[in-house]
């Protein structure tokens, strides 16, 4: 029971926080629907089984089985993940450019995850440090990568309010 409640609390707290950030960026529909598939049976099953309270249950499932059906289900349905936009071309996999609204949702997701995982240690540069440390293993369209790097850096230098102001104005992308 502890794991079930713990997992539900974690995903709901994350969803509410991303929702608030999306609303501030005027992405109302995405603010409401963000990560809804986490409440599906297949994703909940992994969440409950591998819940630790410290790390993602998906990482636990991958360590155990070598792959995570939960993650494959999740990234195939949620357009704010860069992995959703990987498509096969004639010779190799191609990373498609993420539409602006999904790139912004990905930005909000990164900020919320940093806030929730780091708690009192969260700073304006937390999301930038996380994004940059995972960059080498990502296959993401160069324009999308440039936009996200710029936004996380802008956040680190100017704070959240100013960054959201910039997002609302719209950025050439
Ligand atoms: Zn997600």
- What pLDDT was estimated at residue 53? 83
Ranges of the chain with pLDDT below 70: 1
Does the pTM exceed 0.85? Answer: yes
Ligand 1 center to residue 84 CA distance, Å?
10
Q: Which element (helix H / strand E) includes 97? A: none
- What pLDDT was estimated at residue 59? 94
Ligand 1 center to residue 137 CA distance, Å?
18
Residue 68 CB neighbour total at 10 angstroms: 22
Instruction: List the shell of residues around ion ligand 1, using CB closer than 5 Å.
Output: 35, 78
- What pLDDT was estimated at residue 55? 84
Give the position of tokens 């937390």. Answer: 126
- What pLDDT was estimated at residue 128? 97
Residue 164 CB neighbour total at 10 angstroms: 20
Beta-carbon contacts of residue 116 (< 8 Å; ≥ 6 apart): 10, 13, 14, 17
Task: Return the SS3 of 87.
Answer: strand
Ligand 1 center to residue 34 CA distance, Å?
7
Ligand 1 center to residue 142 CA distance, Å?
21
- What pLDDT was estimated at residue 1? 66
Ligand 1 center to residue 2 CA distance, Å?
23
Ligand 1 center to residue 38 CA distance, Å?
8
- What pLDDT was estimated at residue 117? 85
Number of helices (H), then strands (E), in the chain: 9, 2
Rounded CA gap, 79 and 21, in Å? 17
């Amino acid at each position: 029971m502890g794991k079930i409640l713990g997992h539900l609390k974690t995903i709901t707290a994350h969803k509410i926080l991303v929702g608030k950030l999306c609303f501030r960026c005027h992405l109302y529909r995405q603010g409401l629907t963000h990560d809804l598939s986490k409440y599906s049976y297949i994703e909940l099953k992994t969440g409950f089984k591998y819940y630790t309270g410290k790390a993602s249950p998906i990482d636990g499932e991958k360590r155990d089985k070598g792959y995570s059906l939960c993650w494959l289900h999740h990234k195939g349905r949620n357009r704010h993940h860069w992995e959703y936009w990987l498509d096969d071309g004639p010779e190799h996999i191609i990373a498609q450019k993420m539409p602006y609204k999904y790139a912004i949702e990905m930005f909000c997701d990164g900020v919320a995850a940093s806030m929730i995982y780091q708690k009192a240690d969260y700073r304006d540069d937390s999301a930038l440090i996380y994004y940059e440390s995972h960059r080498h293993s990502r296959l993401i369209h160069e324009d999308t990568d440039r936009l996200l790097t710029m936004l996380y850096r802008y956040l680190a230098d100017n704070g959240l309010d100013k960054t959201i102001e910039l997002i609302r104005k719209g950025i050439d992308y």
